[in-house]
Amino acid sequence: MAETAHPAEPLHGELAQVAEIAAEEAGTQDFEVALESLNQWQLAWRRYKRHRLALIGSFFLMSMIAVAVVGPIIWPYNPNDIPGVTTPGGDPPTLNPIENIFGTDFGGRSVLQMVIVGARISVAVGLFTMLIATTIGVTVGALAGFAGGRLDGVLMRFVDLMLAIPFLFVILVAARFFGGGDPVTLIVIFGLLFWPGLSRLVRALYLSLREQEFVQAARAVGVSDLRITFRHILPNALGPIVVSATLIMAGAIVTEAFVSFLNFGIRATDVSWGNALSNSKGYLLQGNWWWPFFPGMALALTVIAVNFIGDGLRDALDPRSKE
């Protein structure tokens, strides 16, 4: 996956001066101008709403989560139910029966159902990996950035080490050797491996934020270092952290799919989008394109949606963003 793009671009020179002054004055006028004052979260929400792609992405992701949670309950998956097919290799998409709207696999099982069941795995892996990795990454980064000195040195050396080893190599080895073929072990492995990049980012944020005056003020009042780290500085660093977290989620979803595709992840007998791609590979030559296409499409769209959300969040939470 390629790197994230640069933060928002600044406004043109002269116009910026004019607009800045206007904005300043708007806050300090003597005569009656009714100004609503919004807090930064409300402002961020406003900016987020303007980002069309992010809204589409959010909607899509919500739907996918809903499908993942509710789908397998309404339509239970029975791996032993093999209806059989009329076309060798799998029945093509059809409206009759409606469950086969995405076609079937070589045994006649509905691809639509695979998409629904697989969604559960992908969404779970994505969300929980994000939660675990973000927690670890923020903790390590915050401690290193705030404490500085030797702790920082030791922690960052360790992070450098983790970052030096090519990511995919480690994930594959870990998944194959330590994984159990089930989502839980996979989530644990991913959570333990996805955090170093974020910790670097958080450390940089903390290094700059800890010099700010509100930190000195808190210290002067006697707030403990630990509290300052997590209750005072963290909310200010939340923007880039949230954006990184969405990237982690997207990355985890793709990585799970790839690892399962190679049969190192979710065991082949379970359903995941990656597994579907792997199992269907052989039937591609027989003309069965729908079996790999729809799960893959679901995967692609989910990842795109998460990335759009991340982008929208970046623009919304970046205080320098003026667009």
Q: Given the rule CB under 8 A, which residues bind other proteins?
A: 1-7, 9-10, 12-15, 17-19, 21-22, 25-26, 28-31, 33, 53, 157, 160-161, 164-166, 168-170, 172-174, 176-178, 250, 254, 257-258, 261-262, 264, 277, 281, 284-285, 289, 292-293, 296, 299-300, 303-304, 306-308, 311
In the complex, the smallest distance separating the C-beta of residue 178 from other proteins, rounded to whole angstroms, is 7
**Residues 6 or more apart in contact with residue 112 via CB below 8 angstroms:** 99, 100, 101, 102, 294
Task: Please say which residue, 142 or 309, places its beta carbon nearer to other proteins.
Answer: 309
In the complex, the smallest distance separating the C-beta of residue 45 from other proteins, rounded to whole angstroms, is 19
Of 49, 128, 135, the C-alpha closest to 309 is: 49
**Residues 6 or more apart in contact with residue 309 via CB below 8 angstroms:** 54, 57, 58, 61, 246
In the complex, the smallest distance separating the C-beta of residue 115 from other proteins, rounded to whole angstroms, is 13
- CA 136/CA 216 separation, integer angstroms: 26
Residue indicated by tokens 């980002």: 51
- Got the DSSP string for 171-213? HHHHHHHH--SSHHHHHHHHHHHS-HHHHHHHHHHHHHHTTSH
In the complex, the smallest distance separating the C-beta of residue 46 from other proteins, rounded to whole angstroms, is 14
In the complex, the smallest distance separating the C-beta of residue 322 from other proteins, rounded to whole angstroms, is 10
**Residue 184 in contact with residue 256, Cβ under 8 Å?**
no
Task: Please say which residue, 132 or 174, places its beta carbon nearer to other proteins.
Answer: 174
| Phi, psi for 8 (deg, rounded to 5) | -55, 155
Task: Please say which residue, 141 or 265, places its beta carbon nearer to other proteins.
Answer: 265
The single-letter code of the amino acid at 261 is F
**Residue 292 in contact with residue 200, Cβ under 8 Å?**
no
| Phi, psi for 146 (deg, rounded to 5) | -80, -45
**Residue 276 in contact with residue 114, Cβ under 8 Å?**
yes
Q: 263: left (phi > 0), else alpha (psi -120 to 50), else beta?
A: left
Cα–Cα distances in angstroms (integers) from residue 27 to residues 32, 35, 36, 57, in the given order:
11, 8, 10, 35
Task: Please say which residue, 233 or 243, places its beta carbon nearer to other proteins.
Answer: 243
In the complex, the smallest distance separating the C-beta of residue 22 from other proteins, rounded to whole angstroms, is 5
In the complex, the smallest distance separating the C-beta of residue 320 from other proteins, rounded to whole angstroms, is 12
Of 285, 9, 240, the C-alpha closest to 141 is: 240
Task: Please say which residue, 77 or 158, places its beta carbon nearer to other proteins.
Answer: 158
Task: Please say which residue, 219 or 267, places its beta carbon nearer to other proteins.
Answer: 267
In the complex, the smallest distance separating the C-beta of residue 42 from other proteins, rounded to whole angstroms, is 19
Task: Please say which residue, 21 or 38, places its beta carbon nearer to other proteins.
Answer: 21
Task: Please say which residue, 118 or 210, places its beta carbon nearer to other proteins.
Answer: 118
